[in-house]
């Protein structure tokens, strides 16, 4: 049976559909020895598919789902040309896994890794508005006026962010819990930056309802079956 190549490779755990489309645009994927320049090609188990010259094994696989409490100074990538630590330096398993979405190098907290490309695509798709909760420490106290402006939306790249929720925690007003339902690049840093605040520390404390409260920085665990079931039901 033939299916579109981005779905085919996502189902095999190579990467998410979006990541596959980027590789195709960069002409890094070959099918039967021919560089692929446009998405949409349908392939099957019989095709010889390679990325950067390395053949992709397309046999059936066991899906794995992992939660990492990401430490600081760690790159959300499977490799790094500058020799920096990546999330795969902390999570070492035999399966070929990749992170779902990204956290900045200095942002800590909940990060999911998997070889289930279809689930990764769902969790990252804006349609499903997956909840992400962060704890931010600011360089100065957040005023009530700016708090309301933040929640109602900030224009980034000409488009207003979706409504978010914020609340203070601790004894001051420099520490804020932020709940988002979208995931733009460096979104919290940029939103506070537009209001003239600097985010000095950022920790993701929840993603799709999952927390890392039972893990120290750099530790990881497999998701339980009920946790995986809850994730797979998000698109229903």
Alpha carbon of 51 to those of 48, 79, 110, 185: distances in Å?
10, 15, 29, 26
Query: For residue 14, what are the β-bridge partners?
Result: none
> Which tokens belong to 166?
């914020």
> Which tokens belong to 231?
């994730």
- Active-site residue 157, yes or no? no
The upper half-sphere exposure of residue 62, i.e. CA atoms within 13 Å in the direction of its Cβ, equals: 4
Report helix, strand or coil for 41.
coil
Burial of 215 (0-12, 13-18, 19+ CB in 10 A): middle
CB of 11 closer than 8 Å to CB of 118: yes
Q: Considering only the C-alpha atoms of the chain, give the largest distance between any 2 of them, rounded to a whole number of Å.
A: 62
Whole-angstrom Cα Rg for the chain: 19
Which one is catalytic: 21, 47, 104, 106? 104
Burial of 119 (0-12, 13-18, 19+ CB in 10 A): buried
Quote the DSSP letter at residue 54: E
Catalytic residues: 104
């Amino acid at each position: 049976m033939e299916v579109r190549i981005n779905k085919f490779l996502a189902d095999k755990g190579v990467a998410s559909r979006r990541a596959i489309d980027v590789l195709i645009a960069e002409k890094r994927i070959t099918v039967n020895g021919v560089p692929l320049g446009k998405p949409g090609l349908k392939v099957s188990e019989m095709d010889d598919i390679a990325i950067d010259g390395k053949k992709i094994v397309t046999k059936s696989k066991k899906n794995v789902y992992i939660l990492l409490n990401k430490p600081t100074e760690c790159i959300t990538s499977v490799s790094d040309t500058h020799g920096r630590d990546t999330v795969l330096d902390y999570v070492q398993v035999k399966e070929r896994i990749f992170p779902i979405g990204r956290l900045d190098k200095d942002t800590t907290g909940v990060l999911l890794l998997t070889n289930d490309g279809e689930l990764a695509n769902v969790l990252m798709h804006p349609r499903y508005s997956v909840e992400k909760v962060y704890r931010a420490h600011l360089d100065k106290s957040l005023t009530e006026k700016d708090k309301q402006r933040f929640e109602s939306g900030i224009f980034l790249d000409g488009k207003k962010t979706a409504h978010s929720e914020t609340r203070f925690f601790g004894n001051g007003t420099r520490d804020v819990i932020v709940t988002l339902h979208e995931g733009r690049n460096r979104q919290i840093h940029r939103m506070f930056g537009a209001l003239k605040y600097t985010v000095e520390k950022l920790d993701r404390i929840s993603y799709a309802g999952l927390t890392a409260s039972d893990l120290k920085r750099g530790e990881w665990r497999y998701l339980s079956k009920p946790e995986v079931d809850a994730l797979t039901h998000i698109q229903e």
